[in-house]
Amino acid sequence: MPSVAIFDLDYTLLRGSSGLMYVQEAIKSGRLPLWMAGYVGLLYRLKILNFGQAHARLITRVARHGPDEAAPFFAEWVPRRLFPRLSPVGLERLRAHRQAGLRVVIVSASIEEIVRPVAQHLNLGNDYLCTRLEVKDHHYTGQLDGPACYGEGKVEWVRRWLVEQNLPFPEAIDYVYTDSSSDLPLLKLARHPVAVNPSPRLEKVARARGWPVEKF
């Protein structure tokens, strides 16, 4: 049976948070007012918005005229700021799994505009799952297209993808690499869960369960 190795992006394959760096760049370039970033951040901290909903709100200001306006911004920014911050250790692990015959998939809470170019840079093609923003009439609506790829939402995206690939769920999930305790629902499905640069809570759970704890 074909097996899958799943990699989170932020703080796992990437040394840092793509979402935070994106917001910083949007403010710096004048695409996002500081007050708007602060307001959405407050709603997120108060749990009024989840991670995906916060992204959906912000993109309507970063690219008010829709994906056509957003495309040049991400096409310039992702290679310049994110590619150099990809972890050499993480990339070597990714390559090792591919050489061993596993199918590698990035599963990230970040938006497709960020995750897609990273996956393509790593020659993964369309093997990525992420939070998707709803577009109607060539404009972002401020809503999500499907569930946020976060927590239990990641499990749902992985389940759908495996079904589309004619792979059994969850039996095809061999490895999961992530830093966050929010990914525990996905980690628990893997034959080989690995805590990478883990948050304190994830490290505690990983050590209690005997999972490997690694630094990328």
**Residue 1 pLDDT > 90, yes or no?**
no
**Is pLDDT at 181 greater than 80 in this prediction?**
yes
What are the tens digits of pLDDT across the range 138-154? Answer: 999 999 999 999 999 99
| DSSP one-letter string for 75-93 | HHHIIIIIGGGB-HHHHHH
The CATH code of the domain that includes 202 is 3.40.50.1000
Cα 126 from chain centre: 14
Question: How many structural domains are present in the chain?
Answer: 1
Q: pLDDT digits over 6-50, tens only?
A: 999 999 999 999 999 999 999 999 999 999 999 998 998 898 888
Q: In terms of residue numbers, what domain contains 85?
A: 4-214
For 141, other C-beta atoms within 10 Å of its C-beta total 15
